[in-house]
Amino acid sequence: MERHLLTSIGILILMVSCKQKETQKIEILEQKPTTELNAETEKIAEEILIPEQYFENDSLRILLESDLEKLTLNPKFDLKTESRINTHDETITDTVKTQTFDKTKIYSYQAKDKEWIYSAKIRSSEFKFLKSIKIGVNKESLENILKSELKTDLIKIGDLENTSVFIFTFENDTLKAIDYQGWVD
């Protein structure tokens, strides 16, 4: 397939859902840079299958969320705020917060009476979850907590609706990233 004037890489993620194991299909579209305004580009599609394990475990997810909330109180983080009009009541202004330290970012939404974390990208080994899980630990540490063998490098712990999920990414049996995806109305 050919397209005009595409010079960036596009990523399409398709997810197939099931209880214990899922597969994500990632299609990476690569285009050659164009030098002329009307030049056509080629794209090379490469498919990579990434198997994952999903653990539906509300009690463990709640403990992880509690640790994440405590993490936001750490004075090491730089805070950036941005005002947003409330989607349900335009007379109210809410706040979107971004907390940053090293390669770690935590995003939250603060309404009048409550604040919700809706996303986090943990890349620093300075922060622990469940007293022992931090960037750089081996896969066995999480296996001991889950009391289950981890057969993939992408582990998700979340709720039944998949609206609040922690994602643990391993490389060579070493934890490289902890991500959180939450839901805010």
pLDDT of residue 185: 64
Please give the mean pLDDT across all residues of the chain.
80
- What does the alpha-carbon distance between residue 107 and residue 90 come to, in Å, rounded to a whole number? 22
- Category of 5 on φ-ψ map: left (φ > 0), alpha (ψ -120 to 50) or beta: left
> Which pLDDT tens digit goes with each residue over 126-156?
999 999 999 999 999 999 999 999 999 999 9
The pair phi, psi for residue 9, each rounded to 5°, is -95, 130
- Give the torsion through C-alpha atoms of 154, 159, 165, 171, to 10 deg: -20
Q: How confident is the model at residue 125 (pLDDT cuts 50, 70, 90)?
A: very high
Please check the confidence at residue 8 and state whether its pLDDT lies above 70.
no
